[in-house]
């Protein structure tokens, strides 16, 4: 069952026109509430093309966030995430230091990357799109993230959990991340296009 699914559709007639009304699934309505992202079981990562021939993958281990899910009116659902830039990890210490430095994120001056949702919309039975404002280095631009609802469960400690995974693509230059180096054979060292990935586990609050 999708997080924004509906159980059934009724048709009413108003002024000679058929108007569809949707009935909320009780199981969906039960998920309504406030959630905190469990950073220990979630990941926020990225993939970028390197030297035109391969991909480099990384993640930010330091992040926190909250979600509000409204099962009766999905458009009222919201999300807010903060990511600590200094927590970037690509598996290579020198590369991570370069990313934290002034050529890229300048983590000392701009320690956080943030996302604040402004809208949510249903895409299908198990998928939806969250649109909001992504801020990097004090530059704020719109971003849409397509997410898939992976389900809900109660863990062994009694926590009610929900899970999502999804992705988005950005041009890093839109946020002022413009450093690059030309290759002798043509092209550049680091692609402008970056794929962002999200694998989120969130715990319902009492």
| 68 touches 80 (CB < 8 A) | no
Helix (H, G, I), strand (E, B) or coil at 125: coil
Question: What are the φ and ψ backbone dihedral angles of 66, each rounded to 5 degrees?
Answer: -130, 150
Q: Residue 138 region, left (φ>0) first, then alpha (ψ -120 to 50), else beta?
A: left
Residue 101 has pLDDT above 60, yes or no: yes
Residue 22 has pLDDT above 50, yes or no: no
| 130 touches 144 (CB < 8 A) | yes
Give the other-Cβ count within 10 Å of 198's Cβ: 22
Tens digits of per-residue pLDDT, 143-173?
Answer: 999 999 999 999 999 999 999 999 999 999 9
DSSP β-bridge partners for residue 200: 164
Q: What is the pTM of this model?
A: 0.86
Residue 11 has pLDDT above 60, yes or no: no
């Amino acid at each position: 069952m999708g997080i924004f699914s509906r159980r059934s559709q009724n048709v009413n007639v108003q002024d000679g026109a058929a108007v569809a009304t949707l009935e909320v699934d009780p199981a969906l309505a039960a998920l309504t509430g406030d959630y905190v992202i469990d950073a220990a079981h979630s990941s926020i990562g990225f993939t970028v093309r390197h030297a035109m021939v391969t991909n480099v993958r990384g993640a930010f281990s330091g992040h926190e966030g909250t979600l509000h899910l409204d099962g009766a009116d999905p458009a009222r659902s919201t999300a807010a995430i903060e990511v600590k830039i200094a927590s970037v990890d690509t598996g290579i210490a020198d590369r991570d230091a370069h990313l934290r430095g002034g050529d890229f994120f300048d983590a000392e001056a701009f320690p956080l990357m943030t996302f604040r949702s402004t809208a949510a919309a249903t895409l299908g039975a198990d998928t939806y799109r969250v649109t909001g404002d992504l801020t990097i280095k004090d530059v704020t631009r719109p971003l849409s993230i397509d997410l898939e609802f992976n389900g809900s469960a109660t863990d062994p400690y009694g926590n009610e959990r929900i899970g999502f995974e999804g992705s988005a693509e950005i041009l890093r230059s839109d946020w002022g991340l413009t450093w690059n180096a030309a290759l002798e054979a043509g092209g550049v060292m680091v692609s402008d296009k970056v794929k962002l990935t999200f694998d989120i586990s969130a715990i319902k609050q009492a």
